[in-house]
Every structure is written in structure tokens, then in C-alpha cells.
Chain A
Amino acid sequence: MADQSIPIGGSLDITPQEREPLLDRLHEWVVTVDHKRLGILYVLYALCFMLIAGAEALSMRIQLAVPNNHFLPPEIYDQFFTMHGTTMVFLVGMPILFGIANYVVPLQIGARDMAFPRLNAFSFWLTAFGGVLLYWSYIGGFGLYGMGNAPDVGWFAYAPLTTRPFSIGSSMDYWALALIVSGFGTLGTAINIIATTLSMRCRGMTLLRMPLFVWLMLVVSALTLITITPLTAAQVMLLLDRYLGAHFFDVQAGGSALLWIHFFWIFGHPEVYVLVLPVFGIASEIIPVFSRKAIFGYPAMVAASVGIAFVSLGVWAHHMFTVGMSSVSNTFFVLSTMLVGIPTGIKIFNWLATIWGGKVRFQTPMLFCIAFLFQFLIAGLTGIMLSVAPWDWQLHNSYFVIAHFHYVLVGAIVFNIFAAIYYWFPKVTGKMLSETLGKWHFWLFLIGFHLTFDTMHFVGILGMPRSIYTYEANRGWGTLNFIISVGAFIQGIAVLIFVWNVIRSLRKGKEAGNDPWDAWTLEWATPSPPPAYNFASDPVVHSRRPLWDIKHPDDPDWKYES
């Protein structure tokens, strides 16, 4: 077990001050530039939006549970699937992952804060403002015509549905501005993480000794700089079309609907990797610790991550096999897409080899990671199926695609986000999350997930397109849709158990101590929660697992690492 005399870290002996009044404490959270507090703010903000977007999803599932249902009118249904998608990608996925990175990256590299603490705070508040702006459309989106309200064009917002003749009112303006604003926040954070990892590492931590989570965040941040830019450009073009008489996407004046599709997916495909690469990092932290083994093939893992990011920039048109590209273009994007499978396969095999020969502990973080491994394998394989362009002509825009990307976004990303929260919650709060509630959360979420998203593959194969608010009974989709909806509610219950677990454990949770998981990276060398300055003295590391070296002085890692 953990050696209590770890020489790194410890805290200065500062006598606890008297508890300040509530207003002062809240004010401190608003003006804070501490990376840990900002990380917590990001995560809380994202969890709030997760509940909202989850409620939207559940409403849609009630509507689709039986054929020809009248629970939601079509206008509201369209708004809900647009807001659900936009919220989950921009206000949940990215903020929660950047929030976790904000908290963990400086700790893992032995730094006292991010490189630019004020930029960090600015980025968070921009992101937060973007989210508020998007949801303000429910109140302010009516515009002069008394119609519009929230955006209702799908999260992909294909032109010309977004141009003024088809989107009267202000809803599209709220959508575009919200994404521009939160996009700038994301860019700020990405720049900050790059600067932090490149220049703030503690002594001895070479690039090839960085924890894989830090590596993945570095890669993701670089990818973010490339990928958010075309989205912002497209949003500006859309606003120019809508207000200044430009004709980028205005087909009635000779504009191009196809141009938007290209711009959107040049952003949209790498965006998937912006969301999934951080959770590869999370899995690469948790799986070794709970298998009690060093990560297998660290250099290959780094290379595969960089490789995935690079290839991901050249695959966007696999979202466009049905728009009528030439056979040669289609063939090119088949090949580039299939190539992604190779570095991704390498990662899966390395995680498998890490477990192989270890002593696997089935605590809640690891349970979520194991489910992630299986689900990500399936998501990858359905991705290969979709890359087979002729088959994609059938599967595109069907529920099979919805199933596939929710396997990535929920089965891989959300599962690992839960793993990360169970793993780092003790560090952040000093309290353990309840294992009993955690297991209830895990198993219910797992069952609900598979009921919902496994079944979606089949309705897609049976010809059900996405984005439809109702369907005819004679198509034979009714029973399967009912099962999907039941699964969705089981997931909802699981999330509520999770929320209860967080609230209850904050007050009554077991004390965590510095290093509850007997882990090996630097964040476990400081107290839980860490003091504002993180480390009392600057750590010095000699290998990828500094705490392993300290716990096993007879058999340190640096003897083996090249």
C-alpha cells in the first residue's frame, strides 16, 4: 500500500482560517484563477447541461416510444434534437473534458497552475456565456415574426435551412453566436493546455515521461486549434448571409449548400476526436492503476494518438458519401477512414496487454473502463461498417448511425467521464464516492445503455431514418422503439443515482487520504483536496511513474524505460 512518507508534496502548515461568509466564498469562485476551481466549475457547468440535454432526450424517447404519438408537437421535437445534440457536444462534452484536464494536467506534470491563469478564467466564462446564450434562444429567439424560438435545424444545421427564408426569427443567430463565443473559450483553453504542457513540466519530466492523459490533452488541444477554426468561419459566413446580404449558402442567389456541409464536417469529424482522445487518456490512467501494471507500449500509445489526430483531419467527407461526390472522391475517403482503424486498434490492443498478466481490481472507475473497452471495440467496428461507402448509402442518416455515434459518445466518452469522476473525485474533494451506489449507477447505466443503443442499430437496418418526430405503425419499428425508450429511462435513473452519490458522498463520504487507489502519478502525492499551490516543493521525477519509484525503491521504473 501507499507509503505514507512520500517526500514529494505535503502542505505548508497554514492554520485554517475562520470560515468566511457565504457571499465572500461565492465571490471567490467567480473571480478565481485557480486551475482547480476552474476545473470544478467546468465540470459542474457541464453536468448541469447534461441533465438538461438528457431531459430533452427523454422527451424525444417518449414521443418515439409508440408509432404516431402526439406527446411532442413536431416543432418542439425538432428543437429538442437540435438542442440535445448542440448541448451535448458543445456544452457538455468539451467543457467536462477540458474541465477535467484543467484540474488534472497541472497536477500530473507537477506544476502550480496553468501557464495563463487569467486566460483560463476568461475561457471558462466565455464558454459559460455561450451556453447561456444558446438557451436564451428559448426566450429571445422569437424575433419580429413571433416564430423561431430555439434552433430547430439539427446540430449539423445544413444550409439552406439556416438561411433567412427558411429560418425566420432569431433562433439561428443565437445558435451561431453561442457557438462562436463558446468556441473562443475552447480555443483559449486549448492554447493554455499546450503552453502548460510544453513549458510548465516539473524537473525530470521529459515529454516521453508525461502521463498519457497529459499527452492526449496536448494532442487534443492542437487538434482543437485546427478544428474549431473552420466552424467559427462558417458561423461568421452564415451570419453574413443572414444580415449583410452575402450568398455563401444562399442557394436562391447561387450559393452552395454543399459548401456548408464541407465546412461543418471539416470541423465536425475532428471534433469527434477532440471528444474521444481525452477519454483515451483517462482510460490510459485508470486501466494500469486498477490492473496494477505499467501501461503496455507507452511510445506506441503516444504515436497512435498523434497518428489518429493526424488522420482524423483527412476523413471528413465520410459524412458525405450520399451528397453525390465522384466515385474517386468516395474511394479516397473510404481508404482514409479505414486507416483510422489501425492506430485505434493499436490502442485497444495496448490496453488489453496492460490488463494481461495484471491483478484487476473491480472498483467503480475500472468497471466503467472495462465497459468502455468493449463498447469502444463495437463502436470502432460499426465505424468500419459505415466507412464501407456503398453500405453507408444505406446506413447514413438512419438510426444505425445514431446508434454508432452514441456508442462512441456515450459508450466510450460518457462511460470514461464517469470513470474519471469516480477516480479523481477523492482527489478533488477529499471524500470517496460510495462504491455501493457507484455499482448501482454502473450496472443500471450499462443495462440502459445496451437496451437503448444496441436496439437502435436494428431499427436503422430496418430503414428508420433519423430526425423524424413520428413514424407509421406498419413499418414494424414500434416494438424496438419502445425498448429503446425503456433503456433511455433506465439510463436516466442511473444518472440520478450518480447525482445522489455525489451529493451524499460530499457530506458523508469516507475520507480519501492522499492516494486512495495506490496510484503512480504526481497528483496522488499531494493532499486531497490539494492546496492552492498544489505542491509545497517542486517535484522531481525520474520516470513515467514517479510514485511507483518511491513505493518500490528496489525496482524503480527508470531502470527499464529507455
Chain B
Amino acid sequence: MNREQGAHAARLTFLLILAAALAGPSAWADLPQQTPSIFAPASTPAYSIFGLSIFALAITGGIFVVVGGLMAYAVIRYRERANDDTSEPPQIYGSTQVELAWTVIPILIVVVLFLTTARIIFAIQDAPQPKDALDVTVIGHQFWWEFRYPKLGIVTANELHVPVSTPGDPQPTFLHLLSADVDHSFWVPQLAGKTDLIPNHPNETWIEPTHTGLYYGQCAQFCGVEHAKMLLRVYVDSPAEFAAWVKDQQQAAVNDPQVTAGREVFETHACANCHAIKGTGAVGTFGPDLTHLASRATIAAGAANNTPQDLYAWIRDPDAFKPGCLMPAMQLSDSDIHELVAYLETLH
């Protein structure tokens, strides 16, 4: 089965479930509907896993039909009936031949399934990294994602941009996974299986997306009170879009003289201790880099939209969106916050 067919089959298989699931109540953020189903893969490792999972599903499904069918038959066929006499049925104590048969058959099934699984483990896990593959360092924080592109000199947060991979121009992205505090797990179901980010234990994974678009994921290892709002977006860009994004991200921050007041608020308050804005005095690393904040669609690791209203509400009281998050309410005056928001909105 090729990739296209695989994705197609997946969508067909789960059409019903998706249809049922589509009707959700009012939205948290105005976002297009997209379910991050593992059966709608869009990246090389996710396709391999999908193929293997259909194989395993077929085997286990077959076992269920046979054994479950026998159970149902036995329970119905050998029920006690109203007109039965009171005698006991013939007592049968066992049979070595039968025991052997139902030991050997499962062993054969295990051998087949094991060998198939082992092949895919090695194919995914030990895939060599091509020289020109994109490198991204992913650092998990309570409760947001830091993305660093060491070769490109880019630092951003929560929204990962990677190039699409085509047969003519394969563009895998290799992710180096670190943690700044506790365990996290990087999971974008349509792109790859999850890999944990564990302090003092660097991990690696890779994706090779074959379709452009936005893919949702989120932290998959409980990491504290706002684990649920440690969301993750991967934008798979066309080569031209990606090049433009890289060029934009490599610039220092926009310095718009119209919002100097807001910039002063940022630099003279504790904001600068935790956040960096390239080209200013703010070099903090505890929170997300804000150099190109306005180029992102969300704030607070996806907990709110990147709109002036949400940004205002977030700065005034972060707990309104993410109770328990580590950004404090800075007790700024209303006018200060408005200046600050105006400044941050210019950071394209």
C-alpha cells in the first residue's frame, strides 16, 4: 500500500467515528476542525506505523472473531435448558493434544507479529539522518515548547515550522528532545509516534511530512497543573513559504517608533527577565522568545488566540487562560498593558 492509499484507507475506516466526533460544542478558539487521528498519517514514520497497526489489527481482529465466536457458541449451545434432566454432563478433565494445539498456534502468531514489529522498530528508530536534514532542538518547559534551529539561528515557541517533503526533494526534520524541568512528551499523531523529553536524557525523533498544512499535537506526558494546555502546532510549509518564514525569523525584532512607550514598559518591568526580544535588552530564557511573537497564531502554548483582546487578558491575568501557569500577573496599569500589547503586536 502506498502512502496515498494508506491515508485514504484511514479516512474511510474512521469516517463514521469522525463524523460522530465532528459535532463538538462551542469552540475554545476559532480554529478549523481537525482531529489529530493516528489513522490519518501525513509523514513517513506515521505511515509506517499506520501500516503496521493495520496488520496488527487484522491479526488481533481475526483472533477475536474466532475465539469470541467460539465463546458465544459455547455459552449459547451448552446452556442449561428447562427440560433438561438433573444429571451432570460428562466430566472431561483435559487433553494433552488439544493443549498442545492451542499452545503452538499462538506461538506461530507471536513469531510473525514479532518479526514484523522488529522490522519497523529498526526502520524508524535507526533511520540515518541525511546530511542536509533540518535540525531542530525541542526543549520542553512547564508548560510550553521551545524550538531552536541551531543551523538557522532561529528561536521560537509552540509553533514549529518545517518544510514539506516530496519524493523529488526529501526534507526530513530531525528533532533533538530536551527538557528544562520535568518529563514531557512530543506528540503530533499525524506526523510520528511520541517521544519523551526527559531531563538529563536527550532523545531524538524525526518527521518527514508529505502534505503541507497545520498539524495539531500536545504534550503527552503529565508534566504538572497545566499539562492539558501545553499544546503544539506544526506548520508544514511549501519550500517557498518555509524559506520566507526562515528569512523573517532571522531578522531582529521590528523597532517601530510608534510603540516606544510599550517597548519601555516591556524593558523596564520584569518581563525582560524571562522573555527575550532579539535586538533589545531583553534576553531572558525562562519564557518563550517573543522576537516574532506577532507571527504566531496563538499565545500561551495554544491556550488563547494571538489577538489584541486575548493578549491583553493574558498579560493582565495569565490564570484566566491557564490557571497555575508560571507567568505571573505583573500588576501593570491598564494603560501600560495597552501600550505593551500595541508594542507586542508589531513584533512580526
A residues in contact (CB < 8 Å) with B: 1, 66-68, 73-75, 78, 152-154, 158, 160-161, 166, 251, 254-258, 291-294, 296-300, 322-324, 326-327, 330-331, 334-335, 338-339, 341-342, 345-346, 348-350, 352-353, 355-362, 370, 373-374, 377-378, 381-382, 384-385, 387-398, 458-459, 461-463, 465-480, 552, 555, 557, 560-561
Contact = CB atoms under 8 A, between A and B. Distances in A.
Give 8 closest A-B pairs by Cβ, nearest first. A393-B193, A463-B36, A478-B24, A468-B228, A324-B203, A476-B35, A251-B199, A467-B222
A393 to B, nearest CB: 2
A398 B25 contact: no
Given A357-B90, A385-B53, A461 B37 contact: yes
Given A338-B114, A378-B64, A478-B23, A300 B94 contact: yes
B93 A462 contact: no
Given A294-B92, A300-B94, A397 B194 contact: yes
Given A293-B91, A397-B185, A458 B27 contact: no
B198 A324 contact: yes
A352 B67 contact: yes
B154 interface: no
A463 B38 contact: yes
B24 A473 contact: yes
Contacts of A385: 53, 56-57, 60
B167 to A, nearest CB: 23
Contacts of A361: 80
B194 A474 contact: no
A466 B218 CA distance: 11
Contacts of B195: 322, 324, 393
A461 B98 CA distance: 37
A373 B84 CA distance: 25
Given A385-B57, A474-B29, A161 B223 contact: yes
Interface in B284-304: none
B220 A78 contact: no
Contacts of B46: 394
Interface of B: 14, 17-18, 20-29, 31-39, 46, 48-49, 52-53, 56-57, 59-60, 63-64, 67-68, 70-71, 74-75, 78-80, 84, 86, 88-95, 98-99, 102-103, 106-107, 110, 113-114, 117-118, 120-122, 124-126, 177, 181-183, 185, 187, 189, 192-196, 198-201, 203-204, 216-229, 231, 323-324
Contacts of B198: 257-258, 323-324
B56 A391 contact: yes
A345 B225 contact: no
Nearest to B62: A381
A257 B200 CA distance: 8
Contacts of A475: 24, 34-36, 216
Contacts of A397: 185, 187, 194, 220-221
A152 B223 CA distance: 10
B24 A360 contact: no
B94 A296 contact: yes
B89 to A, nearest CB: 5
B227 A468 contact: yes
A326 B122 CA distance: 10
A288 to B, nearest CB: 10
A448 to B, nearest CB: 19
A337 B154 CA distance: 43
B25 A473 contact: yes
A359 B80 contact: yes
16 contacts: A160-B183, A160-B199, A297-B95, A323-B196, A323-B201, A338-B114, A342-B103, A349-B67, A349-B102, A350-B94, A385-B60, A390-B53, A390-B193, A462-B36, A466-B222, A476-B33
A74 B225 contact: yes
Contacts of A469: 228
A381 B218 CA distance: 27
A391 B29 CA distance: 31
Contact of A360 (B25, B36, B52, B80): B80
Contacts of B22: 476, 479
A68 B28 CA distance: 7
A155 to B, nearest CB: 10
B80 A152 contact: no
Contact of A477 (B21, B91, B226): B21
Contacts of A391: 49, 52-53, 56, 193
A423 to B, nearest CB: 17
Given A258-B201, A561-B93, A360 B33 contact: no
A257 B199 CA distance: 7
Contact of A158 (B71, B102, B221): B221
B85 to A, nearest CB: 10
Nearest to A396: B194
A390 B120 contact: yes
Nearest to A81: B222
A326 to B, nearest CB: 8
Contact of A377 (B29, B64, B203): B64
Contacts of B21: 458-459, 462, 476-480
A390 B222 contact: no
B324 A461 contact: no
A154 B222 contact: yes
Contacts of B199: 160, 251, 257
Given A391-B56, A474-B27, A296 B93 contact: yes
B91 A334 contact: no
Contact of A358 (B17, B89, B229): B89
A477 B14 CA distance: 13
Given A322-B185, A461-B37, A74 B64 contact: no
B118 A393 contact: no
Name, among A292, A361, A388, A557, the residue most crowded by chain B CB atoms within 10 Å (CB to CB).
Answer: A388
A473 B93 contact: no
Given A294-B91, A388-B56, A473 B27 contact: yes
Given A377-B68, A385-B60, A470-B228, 15 more contacts: A74-B225, A161-B182, A166-B181, A257-B201, A292-B89, A327-B125, A345-B106, A355-B75, A374-B68, A384-B59, A388-B56, A390-B53, A458-B21, A465-B219, A469-B228
A490 B99 CA distance: 40
Contact of B224 (A161, A478, A560): A161
B78 A358 contact: yes
B53 A251 contact: no
Contacts of A389: 117, 121
A308 to B, nearest CB: 13
Contacts of B203: 323-324
Contacts of A474: 24, 27-29, 31-34
B71 A360 contact: no
A161 to B, nearest CB: 5
B117 A334 contact: yes
B308 to A, nearest CB: 21
A368 to B, nearest CB: 13
Given A74-B228, A470-B228, A373 B49 contact: no
A323 to B, nearest CB: 5
Nearest to A345: B106
Given A374-B71, A384-B56, A473-B26, A393 B192 contact: yes
Nearest to A483: B20
A344 to B, nearest CB: 9
Contacts of A339: 110
A462 B75 contact: no
B71 A373 contact: yes
Contacts of B70: 352
A294 B88 CA distance: 11
Contacts of A78: 222, 225
Given A345-B106, A390-B124, A357 B78 contact: yes
A435 to B, nearest CB: 15
Given A293-B91, A472-B28, A467 B17 contact: no
A377 B71 contact: yes
Contacts of A324: 177, 195-196, 198, 201, 203-204
A74 B324 contact: yes
